[in-house]
Chains A and B, each alone.
Chain A
């Protein structure tokens, strides 16, 4: 038997001008990372969005900061607009991978290729305040 339900007013429509809204949630896991988007919540106010976000996204993960942004306030690229992100030509000249032949050429001079990670580790060595190098 299905019990007859009391008819509920739609909470979202109770008060014109104030209602539940979607907030997009951004979490910063530690001070050296940027905030990143994790999902969204539906809440009555920004304060409650932050509470809900903690319950939904930080039951295990550690974090140092949390942002809740009204979805309506976000400006974004059009979802299907592929052209905006198009790479019209080869850009490896901007990247490490574009210089892979260096290692071979150093070898001819009996020297070794060097990476930025090595330099970071070298400079950081012995600095108690530096974090262990994470490789990015």
Chain B
């Protein structure tokens, strides 16, 4: 590696400058960012599936409209992020087609929460409230990312997430204010999602790539810091609506100033993400594959139309 360029690069990072797509960057900076943003993009797109499943079944027209708006946001975020990923991938000879094909052949991972079932309307509420809540925490922690194009897209994404936050709260508040059966449904949904929510932030140990990302100021918080922030913010709110968190060992340790909790099953959930073996993984990937292959003719027609117009 070109040592003097690397030194200049690190000095820029340390001065708090933003790196742009055409600037020189170390290969591992590019690859770490690409992996992160590619997974983020794909998670936005795959995240639309569990929500889309609830559009036809949502209990009112207003709920359908807001859920559809959210699905459009997720796909839109996916597209913005793909653009950022594509510019990083271009020097490696990869483009949109490759990045999207990676999803349908299982070469790129997406967040654990989108591999799971959302069997009741309360699940749709919990996804909007807590899954989006957790995603907002991880995304806001990236707002100061040293890579300018990602930081700018995140700003737009976070602005729209503020609607998602209110939307999720609106659904769970309606259920929490409702009948005994509705509150029961909400509790059952929380029970289903709690472990996945803890897993969402990733393992507590700081991996080599996480350490590297902090060095490059791609991120500046560890998984555990974000999980703790999430717990501090959400536990009182979850309890305030009368829900019980399904973890008898959950407590705040005053001495350590941190939440103690039962660890999620890292091995089982990790395998689910790696192997796409969750209850809904294959079904949703099949949807994505069908969308990709069934609409190939449209992508082709757009090109042909332009080729003909040019003659």
Interface positions of A (Cβ within 8 A of B): 1-3, 5-6, 8, 10-12, 14-15, 17-20, 22, 38-45, 48, 52, 55-56, 59-60, 79-80
The reply to whether A55 and B76 form a contact with Cβ atoms under 8 Å apart is yes
Contacts beyond the supplied A11-B300, A39-B80, A59-B72: 7 A-B pairs with Cβ under 8 Å: A1-B282, A3-B286, A8-B293, A8-B296, A44-B299, A56-B76, A56-B79
Given A3-B286, A8-B296, A59-B69, decide whether A45 and B76 contact each other with a Cβ distance below 8 A: no
Q: Which of A11, A14, A41 contacts B83 (CB 8 A)?
A: A41
The reply to whether B76 and A59 form a contact with Cβ atoms under 8 Å apart is yes
The reply to whether A19 and B303 form a contact with Cβ atoms under 8 Å apart is yes
- Chain A residues within an 8 Å CB radius of B310: 17-18
Q: How distant is A107 from chain B, measured CB to nearest CB, in Å?
A: 39
Q: How distant is A122 from chain B, measured CB to nearest CB, in Å?
A: 36
- Chain A residues within an 8 Å CB radius of B299: 11, 20, 44
In angstroms, Cα B304 to Cα A14, docked, is: 9
Interface 9-mer from B97-105, B173-181, B234-242: B97-105
Q: Which applies to chain B's interface (DSSP): helix, strand, loop or mixed?
A: helix
Task: Judge whether B144 is part of the interface by a CB distance below 8 angstroms.
Answer: no
- Chain B residues within an 8 Å CB radius of A52: 79
Given A11-B300, A12-B95, A44-B302, decide whether A6 and B293 contact each other with a Cβ distance below 8 A: yes
- Chain A residues within an 8 Å CB radius of B105: 2, 5
Interface 9-mer from B16-24, B36-44, B210-218: B16-24
Tell me the residues in window 60-94 of chain B with beta carbons closer than 8 Å to chain A beta carbons.
Answer: 69, 72-73, 76, 79-80, 82-83, 86-87
The reply to whether B152 and A39 form a contact with Cβ atoms under 8 Å apart is yes
The reply to whether A5 and B101 form a contact with Cβ atoms under 8 Å apart is yes
The reply to whether A18 and B307 form a contact with Cβ atoms under 8 Å apart is yes
- Chain B residues within an 8 Å CB radius of A39: 80, 83, 152-153, 156
Task: Judge whether B289 is part of the interface by a CB distance below 8 angstroms.
Answer: yes
The reply to whether A17 and B307 form a contact with Cβ atoms under 8 Å apart is yes
Q: How distant is B2 from chain A, measured CB to nearest CB, in Å?
A: 14
The reply to whether A5 and B307 form a contact with Cβ atoms under 8 Å apart is no
Top-10 shortest CB links A-B: A44-B302, A18-B307, A45-B306, A79-B23, A11-B299, A79-B20, A15-B307, A79-B22, A18-B306, A40-B83
Q: Which of B24, B86, B97, B282 contacts A10 (CB 8 A)?
A: B97
Q: How distant is B133 from chain A, measured CB to nearest CB, in Å?
A: 21
The reply to whether A44 and B96 form a contact with Cβ atoms under 8 Å apart is no
CB closest residue in chain A, given B20? A79
Q: Please encode chain B, from 245 to 270, with 1 for each CB lying within 8 Å of some chain A CB and 0 for all others.
A: 00000000000000000000000000
CB closest residue in chain A, given B100? A8
- Chain A residues within an 8 Å CB radius of B153: 39
Given A11-B299, A42-B83, decide whether A20 and B307 contact each other with a Cβ distance below 8 A: no
In angstroms, Cα B95 to Cα A19, docked, is: 12
The reply to whether B307 and A80 form a contact with Cβ atoms under 8 Å apart is no
CB closest residue in chain B, given A38? B156
In angstroms, Cα B24 to Cα A19, docked, is: 27
- Chain A residues within an 8 Å CB radius of B69: 59
- Chain A residues within an 8 Å CB radius of B160: 59-60
Task: Judge whether B291 is part of the interface by a CB distance below 8 angstroms.
Answer: no
